[in-house]
């Protein structure tokens, strides 16, 4: 068991653009939090949700967690699926993929999308998508496991990462401890609603980054609250960035960029782009 509580090194509210708040960017917080290199939080009133047309990725995996809406997803692989609210959409972009998402809801839209930097063994792999419906997402008490594991809960996702992503909901007065795996020196959380005390600091609707250790995280709910928590073994490679891509080398980035250019041309030829 870890012998101390983890300290907060950074806290911030992100950068809001309309209904989307950018909380983690590859060129900024992503260097500290890799393999977590990107996170957007969507908070839109009814009828004002974003529409994501076809766009490319390579080298990464994306995870979408729609809290209050369903998402119809189409990939350039030809796969079309719908993930229901509370489910998980996973896309391994690998050597290159284009995709688009269409939110389906009558009310307000709230949800998350994250990007993960992949190791060299997966950054140019064959792309694939996976959709986990809400009834198959592991839950116990206050914890929902979106990726990785917690206690006896294990996500059906099997990404090539040593990482946990949890959604936690606490009632006022609850105290919840998270003891990360020994290898998880990267840790962060985003308080989505309510007020929480962590490491002696009161948090409300903000991202916090913890020190690189494997200490315990203790959350004390000052009000009813919900937050996303990520921890992982640190991605050991430099981030080589493209417009929609993250790779471990310029060579791999060039391969991915060529591949997504070829797919883009095929989509234009078919009239989808």
Q: Could you tell me if residue 6 is inside a domain?
A: yes
Looking at the structure, tell me whether residues 170 and 232 fall in a common domain: yes
Q: What is the residue-level pLDDT of the chain in tens, covering all 273 positions? A: 444 689 999 999 999 999 999 999 999 999 999 999 999 999 998 777 667 789 999 999 999 999 999 999 999 988 899 999 999 999 999 999 999 988 888 888 999 999 999 999 999 999 999 999 999 999 999 999 999 999 999 999 999 999 999 999 999 999 999 999 999 999 999 999 999 999 999 999 999 999 999 899 999 999 999 999 999 999 999 999 999 999 999 999 999 999 999 999 999 999 988
Looking at the structure, tell me whether residues 219 and 197 fall in a common domain: yes
C-alpha–C-alpha distance, residues 157 and 179, integer Å: 21
Which DSSP state fits 34?
Answer: T
Domain holding 185: CATH number?
A: 2.60.120.10
pLDDT at 49: 67
Task: List Cα–Cα distances, 162 to 8, 96, 119, 180, 257, in angstroms.
Answer: 22, 23, 11, 11, 26
Looking at the structure, tell me whether residues 145 and 208 fall in a common domain: yes
* H helix intervals, the chain: 29-33, 250-270
Q: Range of 205's domain?
A: 1-12+137-236
Q: Could you tell me if residue 57 is inside a domain?
A: no
Q: H/E/C letters for each residue in 98-111?
A: EEEEEEECCCCEEE
Looking at the structure, tell me whether residues 232 and 141 fall in a common domain: yes
The total domain count for the chain is 2
C-alpha–C-alpha distance, residues 265 and 253, integer Å: 18
Looking at the structure, tell me whether residues 148 and 198 fall in a common domain: yes
Looking at the structure, tell me whether residues 155 and 245 fall in a common domain: no
Q: Could you tell me if residue 49 is inside a domain?
A: no
């Amino acid at each position: 068991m870890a012998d101390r509580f983890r300290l907060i090194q950074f806290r911030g509210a992100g950068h809001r653009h309309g209904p989307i708040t950018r909380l983690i960017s590859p060129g900024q917080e992503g260097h500290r939090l890799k393999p977590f290199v990107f996170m957007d939080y969507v908070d839109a009133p009814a009828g004002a949700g974003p529409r994501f047309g076809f766009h490319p990725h390579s080298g990464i995996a994306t995870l979408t967690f729609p809290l209050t809406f369903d998402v119809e997803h189409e990939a350039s692989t030809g796969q079309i699926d719908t993930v229901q609210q509370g489910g998980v959409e996973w896309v391994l972009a690998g050597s290159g993929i284009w995709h688009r998402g269409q939110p389906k809801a009558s009310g307000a839209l709230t949800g998350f999308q994250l990007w993960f930097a992949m190791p060299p063994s997966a950054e140019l792999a064959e792309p694939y998508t996976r959709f986990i419906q809400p009834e198959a997402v592991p839950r116990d008490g206050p914890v929902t496991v979106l990726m990785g594991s917690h206690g006896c809960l294990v996500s059906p996702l099997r990404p090539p990462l040593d990482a946990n992503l949890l959604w936690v909901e606490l009632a006022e007065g609850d105290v919840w401890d998270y003891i990360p795996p020994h290898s998880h020196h990267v840790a962060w959380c985003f308080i989505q609603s309510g007020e929480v005390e962590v490491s002696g600091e009161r948090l409300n609707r903000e991202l916090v980054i913890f020190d690189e250790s494997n200490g315990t995280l203790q959350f004390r709910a000052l009000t009813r609250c919900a937050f996303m928590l990520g921890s992982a073994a640190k991605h050991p490679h430099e981030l080589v960035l493209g417009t929609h891509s993250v790779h471990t080398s310029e060579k791999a980035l060039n391969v991915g960029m060529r591949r997504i250019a070829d797919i883009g041309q095929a989509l234009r030829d078919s009239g989808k782009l």
